[in-house]
Structure 1
């Protein structure tokens, strides 16, 4: 049995009603170790679910405001609820990037869309730049009818100045990787107000995908979650 493209388009439409986007997928190779599907058997395919820009934000806010009490990790909770509902409608198992043990979401995304990491670790998208994310995935115990991703230009290769590595006042990103504790201390500290209210300065310095840049309130929400504020 194969999940036909018409059904995949129906799934995409169901996700789009919540501002979410079907971000591609693939069939697992024979003999490849895979997570389990809905019935407990080995999954044979995966569809990635994510966002482009801040499209889910109004949907998420309406849901958040409808809750009778504060919800821990509200964006994750909303994403699980929405993607889980779609999964139930189409016979899939929904999984999340925050599930333990962690699933290889970044590797799945690279495989599904042909993307590569930017110097900040975020996958660089040829249209969305750094302004996209993955919110979950749908695992099926059947194969899906999808084409292999075409070759995608990696915009970071064309960027000479690399402003994403020059804008952070504490040089949180470098050739040595991400200095997590240095970044965290700065964001929480007296001089971290621009980051807390407007988001990561390095990320905002990237010239690509500007039309999809998250609004300041969305970036402030994510930064508060990162810093535990």
Structure 2
């Protein structure tokens, strides 16, 4: 059977085309497709084997059979590599910029979470918050969270950005953007990312009040950065 294959980004550049035709035997699997592509384009083999295959706009397993007339696409790693986009910055955060990091043709849902500086906590008035981070390690731990999410929810893309420095009431301190084929995975993985960030990412905040200030520790339980990630709770959203 002859199938049409869509190529994107760096892979399209290397091959020199955005779509190709390929002959495969009846009953061929995704694994067969990858091997055939690597054989036909040896100069792009590493990128091909690091890419994902989508069948009819859904990510496919290696042993999944390719049917005639299926829409086939080869999806190379995004954002210049396999790591999710993560940053710690003193600059104001932009939801639009973060959404652009995760949006892709196979995402049916894009979810964003913004953590903002609130004025009142348990009746006490906050004037501002001061955030401090061990920035290199914080970024690395955010990337680890992204890798955990990829294992639990294949096909989900996530980006995270945390602001440091002195933030006024109403300013955004944390942004998380998640893109997934279906909305259920977006809600689940987004919630997982927030909770894991609180557990293992070395970022601290000082609450500055009208009459004093204090560094705040974790508010969801004892501090234990070696704690293994738990099994995420399922939501009731249907994709």
**What TM-score do you get using the length of structure 2 for normalisation?**
0.24
The structure with more helix, counted as a fraction of residues: 1
- Between Structure 1 and Structure 2, the one with more strand by share is 2
Bigger RCO (CA 8 Å, 6+ sep): 1
Which one has the largest radius of gyration?
A: 2
TM-score by length of 1: 0.25
